[in-house]
Structure 1
Amino acid sequence: MHKPMMKVTTYTSKLVKPSRPTSTTDRYYKISFFDELAPSVNVPLILYYSTPPSDLNGPFENICDHLEDTLSKTLSEFYPFAGRYIRELSMIDCNDQGVLYVLGNANVRLLEILGLGHELDPGALNSLVPCEAREVNEVNDPMLSIKVTTFECGGFAIGMCFSHRISDMGTMCLFINNWAARSNGKHKHEIYSPVFNLPTCFPQRGLPDFTNPRSSVGIQNEARRFVFKAKAISAMRENVGLDENTPRRPSKVQLVIALFWKAFVHMEQANYVESKASFLIQAVALRDKVLPELHTNSCGNFFAIAPSRLRPGEGENITYQDFFMILRDSVSKTVQDCTKMLTQGKEEYEVVIDPYLEWNRNMSPDNVVNMRIYIFSSWCKFSYYQADFGCGKPVWASPGKLPTQNLVILMDDHEGDGVEAWVHLDEKGIKQLEQDSDIQGYAI
């Protein structure tokens, strides 16, 4: 198949402000304890939509103008997104400065991108997002940037960059669904409206910036998408071989992470004369796990990280099931610790903070030469595939390429029961991973 060379031409760039001014009582938004721990980086998400039906008219005749109008209305509820972060004060100045809104045209049809398969270059998708996935700590950096790109076929992509300082994937999806419901005329206040109560529930504690020092622009890395369909996930479950007394069915996320960790450890054995320790962290969403009384639409970061460790040489003779069990036990312990901390009213925040401190220590020049560190973030089971702006639900979703090595982002496939893994390594690591027998056995 001919590989298209996508070129995106930008023709409009502006700031979109909330349709109603933010009240003086809401002018300054102090970030929460969990926001303090989040990395100050842009998180990209791209949603792809096929050509709207030819009989679609009314407000959808000019989709870009309609999206801008409903975006402005949405920002009146999500007012911190239109503000700017003041690092010295650890707060958002909700000054209605606005979000960046960019329009562009691509010189290819959407099907040409969707049909690339193994030839897809994740880096090429970065032209569909409005800005780089970089650190956003400066007072002029928008908290949210959006780019709408139309394809030659009439389909379009909505590329978004959210500041992780105040947004996790749950918050991002609440915003997207609010915006989509306003666009398709089905907005209901009680379902889609945000609640900014996390700073009150979890006041900030004056923590240092935990941004990963290696997650910055300039990192030379490669990215590759690996797709695991439902049949492959079922085969992984069989391979794990847990008995019927296992409390719950192994999740597809843990199965895929275990597969990659095993492959990474084997790559380390091939690349280094001396064995290295392996340190893996997983982001664990807490919204649906530890505080059922917390409002469903609470906005901000609400996640912890679960660390897993292997000493030098420890991974050489353990099985896929062993990797899976280590990862599952780590997540279970993190959830249990956070539940105990948050439900018993004890200010034992160390169970949340300590993994970040360990991560930072491991990133120091003295430790990094003796250890390989891997970061996994799962965006599975979130609702971005439900975002109907009036032209139907997305036909695909992707992150693009991030300037971070040893990072894996996991997303649902379009059917919802498979996984797309977006792996960021150096060039040698990507080539080795493509040759791994386990990866080849499951990925399409």
Structure 2
Amino acid sequence: MGKITKFVKSKVCNSTNRAFPLIVNHHTMASFQIQIISETLIKPSSPTPPSLKQHQLSDYDKTMHHMYTPVAFLYTSHGHGIPSTDEVSQLLKNSLSKTLKHYSHFAGRLVGDSHVDCNDMGVKLLEVRVRCPMAEVLKRPNTDAQDLVYPKGLPWSMAKEDILVVAQISYFDCGGIAVSADISHKIVDVASITTFMNDWAAMARNSSYKPSPQIVSPTILKMDDVPATAEDDNMKENICQSRRFLFHDSKIAELKALAVNSGAENPTRVELVTAILHKCAVTASTAALGSFMPNILLLAVNLRSIISPPLAKTSIGNMSSCYAISATHENRMKFPLLAGELRRSKIKLFQKYGKQLNESELLFLNSTDKAHESQKLSDGDNFDCFIFSSLCRSPFYEVDFGWGRPVLVYVPNCPFKNTFFLIDTPTQDGIEALVTLEENVMQIFENDEGLLAFASLIKDS
């Protein structure tokens, strides 16, 4: 549906008396207005000591893009007694400032590709008034939500400045609140974001709370040169579409029975959903291209509990990598085969690497395996890369600022082709998959009867 955005001057100003725009969006079924209330820099509650003024990036951090990784938490006012806007504003600003005392590099500035200057310049925080009830957003997660709870155009974008964290508080007419964070992938992975947001929320509930993030030493992850993989190719400009699919636990149980009966050894729910999505995506791609293309599947894994000795769950930094499976022939794209191969690949990673190797060796060998799979497939020919990330079982739904658990943890549409994000449903009774494919592939994928037998397409109502 078409959307027209226009700007008119607002009388709402920040401390510098600069006028902020009133953004008016018109939809065929609903209209809303977004008014920017303030834009401020939140600094740590106390100066960073000289000994911590420079945060060195690990070799693995350096391979990551300075790209804003987004997540948003939506809270309704029903039964929770959310305070007034002024009270919420003060609470979240103060608690963020106190939390940043323990995450000093989050409030610093990126210097080249080597380190963060922990200069306490601050995290950017926007506050906006959304002139519609939150229910309108919950009914249309594919359209309205993204522009209402995130700074426009920021999620998944390559940073054009050296600010590492941008947060936004969105106040809805109904009393509901959304808190979003866009954090540079240079300094965090998904687990790090979870820890930071839970620490911020805990500080809001209890001002004497003491966060205990374990900042990963840059010497832990030393890497030699590793051949490039196909991941960066997925980040090129493509005409893509994103869709959300819901897998209820009952349907995941059906997938498990199908896989186990065909010889797969106790695959996890994430592996099952990954396998069926991958199968159907490759089927759609084959139909769109007119022929099968060899492919590689990369599934992200948290290294914290795998390495020996294990790192704390609250370790902050990029401590995730991928394990890979590949297919050179179309007859390998059967669901039970994929589920079983994913299970075996993960077990191999845990048993062979985790028990025998230290952190740096694990990361190097895992990355080498990933690159080797890519090189084995290519041999001068084209091949597809499909990238899966799972947020399942992460404590995102425990992020409670004092007015209860979020009614929705919202990841915005991703602009990169062949990307898949899996997250638990708000009621914890299934998995929601955010899928981004090239437009012509998505048109086939979203109508695949083999997919729709186990998943339902989430449509805007």
Which band: TM-score by shorter chain?
0.7 to 0.9
Paired residue for 1:155? 176
Task: Answer yes or no: is the 8 Å Cα contact 2:326–2:373 preserved in 1.
Answer: no
C-alpha displacement of 1:122: 5.0
Task: Answer yes or no: is the 8 Å Cα contact 1:122–1:401 preserved in 2.
Answer: no
1:77 to 84, 102, 114: 102
Paired residue for 2:60? 34
TM-superposition CA deviations, 1:177-219 (whole Å, max 9, x none): 1110110117643xx3111133243346687998954455854
Paired residue for 1:269? 286
Task: Answer yes or no: is the 8 Å Cα contact 2:228–2:371 preserved in 1.
Answer: no
Paired residue for 1:226? 245
C-alpha displacement of 1:332: 2.3
Task: State the SS of the aligned residue for 1:11.
Answer: strand
CA distance in 2 between partners of 1:266 and 1:211 (Å)? 20
C-alpha displacement of 1:390: 0.7
CA distance in 1 between partners of 2:455 and 2:168 (Å)? 31
Paired residue for 1:397? 409
Q: Does 1:427 align with 2:439?
A: yes
CA distance in 2 between partners of 1:211 and 1:82 (Å)? 32
Give the 3 Å change call, closer, same or farther, for CA 288–54 of structure 1 in structure 2: closer
CA distance in 2 between partners of 1:208 and 1:358 (Å)? 8
1:169 to 190, 204, 211: 190
Give the 3 Å change call, closer, same or farther, for CA 402–273 of structure 1 in structure 2: closer
Task: State the SS of the aligned residue for 1:380.
Answer: coil
Paired residue for 1:237? 256
TM-superposition CA deviations, 1:124-173 (whole Å, max 9, x none): 5144213231223x6x3211110111112110111111111111111111
Q: Does 1:134 align with 2:157?
A: yes
2:166 to 145, 150, 172: 145
Task: Answer yes or no: is the 8 Å Cα contact 2:326–2:377 preserved in 1.
Answer: no
CA distance in 1 between partners of 2:52 and 2:38 (Å)? 30
C-alpha displacement of 1:221: 1.5
Q: Does 1:100 align with 2:124?
A: yes
TM-superposition CA deviations, 1:22-57 (whole Å, max 9, x none): 111001111123323434321110111011657565
CA distance in 2 between partners of 1:9 and 1:214 (Å)? 37
Q: Does 1:260 align with 2:277?
A: yes
Give the 3 Å change call, closer, same or farther, for CA 346–407 of structure 1 in structure 2: closer
C-alpha displacement of 1:265: 2.1
Give the 3 Å change call, closer, same or farther, for CA 55–404 of structure 1 in structure 2: closer
Task: State the SS of the aligned residue for 1:241.
Answer: helix
TM-superposition CA deviations, 1:79-110 (whole Å, max 9, x none): 1101112224x111111111110111223211
Paired residue for 1:196? 215
Q: Does 1:19 align with 2:45?
A: yes
| Count of paired positions | 427
5+ long unaligned stretches in structure 2: 1-27, 457-461
Give the 3 Å change call, closer, same or farther, for CA 111–178 of structure 1 in structure 2: same
Quick check: 334-343 or 16-25, which moved more? 334-343
Task: State the SS of the aligned residue for 1:306.
Answer: strand
Give the 3 Å change call, closer, same or farther, for CA 395–221 of structure 1 in structure 2: same
Amino acid at match of 1:353: S
CA RMSD of superposed structures (Å): 3.0
Q: TM-score, normalised by structure 2?
A: 0.84
- Kindly report which structure 2 residues correspond to 1:314-333, keeping only aligned pairs within 5 A, or say none: 314-315=331-332, 318-333=333-348
Give the 3 Å change call, closer, same or farther, for CA 208–234 of structure 1 in structure 2: closer
Amino acid at match of 1:163: S
Which structure shows the bigger proportion of residues in strand conformation?
Answer: 2
Task: Answer yes or no: is the 8 Å Cα contact 2:32–2:130 preserved in 1.
Answer: yes
Q: Does 1:300 align with 2:321?
A: no
Amino acid at match of 2:30: P
Give the 3 Å change call, closer, same or farther, for CA 353–186 of structure 1 in structure 2: same
5+ long unaligned stretches in structure 1: none
TM-superposition CA deviations, 1:281-326 (whole Å, max 9, x none): 11111122334542332211111111110004334xx532111112
Task: State the SS of the aligned residue for 1:329.
Answer: helix
Paired residue for 1:409? 421
Quick check: 20-29 or 46-55, which moved more? 46-55
Q: TM-score, normalised by structure 1?
A: 0.87
Task: Answer yes or no: is the 8 Å Cα contact 2:58–2:221 preserved in 1.
Answer: yes
Give the 3 Å change call, closer, same or farther, for CA 209–327 of structure 1 in structure 2: closer
Task: Answer yes or no: is the 8 Å Cα contact 2:76–2:175 preserved in 1.
Answer: yes
C-alpha displacement of 1:331: 2.2
Amino acid at match of 1:114: L
Give the 3 Å change call, closer, same or farther, for CA 13–6 of structure 1 in structure 2: same
Task: Answer yes or no: is the 8 Å Cα contact 1:34–1:303 preserved in 2.
Answer: no
Amino acid at match of 2:319: F
Percentage of matched positions with identical amino acids: 26
Give the 3 Å change call, closer, same or farther, for CA 272–206 of structure 1 in structure 2: closer
TM-superposition CA deviations, 1:361-398 (whole Å, max 9, x none): 6999964xx21211111111111100110111100111
- The one of the two structures with greater contact order (alpha-carbon pairs below 8 A, sep at least 6) is 1
Quick check: 100-109 or 288-297, which moved more? 288-297
CA distance in 1 between partners of 2:112 and 2:60 (Å)? 15
Amino acid at match of 1:202: L
Task: State the SS of the aligned residue for 2:166.
Answer: strand
Paired residue for 2:396? 384
1:109 to 126, 133, 140: 133
Paired residue for 2:368? 354
